[in-house]
Amino acid sequence: MVLSATQVQQWERDGFLVLPGAIDPAACDRLVGRAEEIVEAFDASTVSVFSTHEQTRTSDEQFLASGDAITCFFEADAFDEHGTLRQDKAQSINKIGHALHDLDPTFDAFSRQPAIAEAAASIGIQDPKLLQSMYIFKPPRIGGEVTCHQDSTFLYTDPMTVVGFWVALQDATVENGCLWAQPGGHRTPLRRRFVLDPSGGTRFEDLDDTPLPEPGGPELVPLEAPKGTLVLLHGLLPHWSDVNRSDRSRQAYTVHVIDGTAAYPAENWLQRRGDLPFRGFDGRTEVVGSTNC
Ligand code: FE2
């Protein structure tokens, strides 16, 4: 997916780029099938609930350990007051993260397909390193909101280089919780960073008090995306997705890429063990910055 000059200009103007038809629908189907297998094999007794409310994320050791693992996270509303799943396990998962692209061959091939590698090169990522991957389920009826945020908060480099490559594996619409983004919002400052706390756990470090756009307000526009659409998201771009109360899931896959020419801070929450360094699109292994452990 080599981008045209016009597309690169749109990217630079808006901080996002929507590319319908960039990804083969059959490849999307293969990923959906592989995710089903991972969830089927997942032992639900080792529960981790993913909530977009920061406290849960902050206190969840399983989340912190997922940077170099394949971990299933339940929706916050998956369980009733008795701790029983409200619907099937397969319809209760929020996401799988965060090293699918390095640990699972199907996800490895999907993440490193030429369409994504060429798009990354087109927008000037010199030394791409695949940092994080997430399979997002947004299940029917209980799919949770993802509050307005900037990805550089969680995936920081110095200078900031992270770009999200988001793929609609199913049609994403306003009804089932598509992405919303602020055109040009990538030119606003980074509000905060999510960092490891030297005393244990994690914390947010406030950097700028400019408010993020309010969900439902006029600054955010919906990025409706038919199956097979590739969406590029700048790390500073404020974006949000709503709950899914419809009867259709909105499955998506996202891989975040950084430029290996930038420094990767040791206080980032996502750290890799030494035998699993960040790799590029060509699969070369190279340690980036100060990955610890
Ligand atoms: Fe995001």
What does the alpha-carbon distance between residue 40 and residue 243 come to, in Å, rounded to a whole number? 24
Ligand 1 centroid distance, CA of 242 (Å): 12
Ligand 1 centroid distance, CA of 96 (Å): 15
Ligand 1 centroid distance, CA of 197 (Å): 22
Report the Cα–Cα distance between both ends of the chain, in Å, rounded. 36
Ligand 1 centroid distance, CA of 24 (Å): 23
Ligand 1 centroid distance, CA of 7 (Å): 21
pTM of the model: 0.92
Ligand 1 centroid distance, CA of 18 (Å): 15
Q: Which region holds residue 289: left if phi is over 0, alpha if psi is between -120 and 50, else beta?
A: left
Identity of residue 143: G
Model confidence over 221-257: pLDDT tens digits? 999 999 999 999 999 999 999 999 999 999 999 999 9
Model confidence over 155-212: pLDDT tens digits? 999 999 999 999 999 999 999 999 999 999 999 999 999 999 988 888 999 999 999 9
Protein residues within 5 Å, CB atom, of ion ligand 1: 151
Ligand 1 centroid distance, CA of 238 (Å): 8
The owner of tokens 């090293």 is 99
Sequence-separated (6 or more) residues with CB below 8 Å from residue 205: 192, 193, 194, 195
Model confidence over 31-84: pLDDT tens digits? 999 999 999 998 876 565 555 454 454 446 778 888 999 988 888 788 887 778
- How many other CB atoms sit within 10 Å of the CB of residue 127? 13
Ligand 1 centroid distance, CA of 290 (Å): 23
User: Which tokens go with 250?
Assistant: 């909105």
